[in-house]
Amino acid sequence: MIQRRRQIATLLLVAMIAYSGYGFACSESDVSKVKKKVADAAAILNTSAKSNRSLYQSGVYGPVGSAAAIAKRQQVATAIHQANEWLSMAVERAASLTAGDLAGGKADIVKLLQQAAQVLGTVNVGNENIRLIIVSAVTAINTAITLTLAVKGA
Amino acid sequence: MAATLIGILGAIDTLTPLATQLIGELRQTGETDEQVIARARALVAETRQITTEDMGDQP
């Protein structure tokens, strides 16, 4: 029984290291990994935009339609919008990425993702819910940056 | 025996979110590069539409 547990623990450890360090699909190319990380960042930012709307509509920012609530929604939406434009450029750079320019492309994409994370870091509307969502988005983008930098090749 | 069962159930409970995440990852690993970029572009476009509307003054 103890040996069986050790085998399961070892298997889980190997799977988690493989997942966190290299992405779960170990056989995919380095270019594909970078593109996937950029898409992951786009997904989390999309979720943030939807969450901002949901928080406004559910009255978390204040009474729906009030000037204060609309101002908070606008402030968060503006930051996400700006971050999304940086991310849009990262997506287009990733689209043209090839194995031949992986090193340069990675650097370009990392700079664009850093700009996106930096814009999001400026948001503060005094609401804990949206703060946590934005922090999650920044963390996800920073993870994408770290994993993009960790991709080997070229 | 009961302790072993509790241990196994505890492990399953702990690993369920990770398993859900991994299943999602595995489903997406079937995507081609073109599909990944198309998905990213669609997400960016949708985010742009949402934020453009939410930056306005309308309630």
Task: Note down pLDDT in tens along chain B; length 59 residues.
Answer: 666 766 666 666 666 655 666 666 666 668 999 999 999 999 999 999 999 999 999 99
Question: From the DSSP assignment, how many helices (H) and strands (E) are in chain A?
Answer: 5, 0
- Closest residue in chain B to residue A86, using alpha carbons only: B44
Tell me which residue of B47, B7, B11, B48 sits closest to A11, measured CA to CA: B11
CB A127 within 8 A of CB A60: yes
Q: Establish if B39 belongs to a structural domain.
A: yes
Classify the complex by whether its ipTM is higher than 0.85, answering yes or no.
no
The structural domain count of chain B equals 1
Verify whether the Cβ–Cβ distance B33 to A35 is below 8 Å. Answer: yes
Instruction: Give the largest Cα separation in chain B, rounded.
Output: 63
Give per-residue pLDDT as tens, A76-100. 999 999 999 999 999 999 999 999 9
pLDDT band of A152, cuts 50, 70, 90: confident
Verify whether the Cβ–Cβ distance A25 to B29 is below 8 Å. Answer: yes
Cα dist from A53 to A71, A99, A100, A130, B14, whole Å: 12, 39, 41, 10, 32
Query: Measured between CB atoms, which of B41, B43, B59 is closest to A70?
Result: B59
The structural domain count of chain A equals 1
Verify whether the Cβ–Cβ distance A38 to B55 is below 8 Å. Answer: no
Domain of residue A37, CATH code: 1.20.140
Q: Establish if B59 belongs to a structural domain.
A: no
Q: Establish if A21 belongs to a structural domain.
A: no
Mutate to test the interface with B, among A45, A91, A141 (most CBs of B within 10 A): A91
Domain range enclosing B32: 2-54
Any idea how long chain A is? 154
Q: Establish if B45 belongs to a structural domain.
A: yes
Q: Establish if B28 belongs to a structural domain.
A: yes
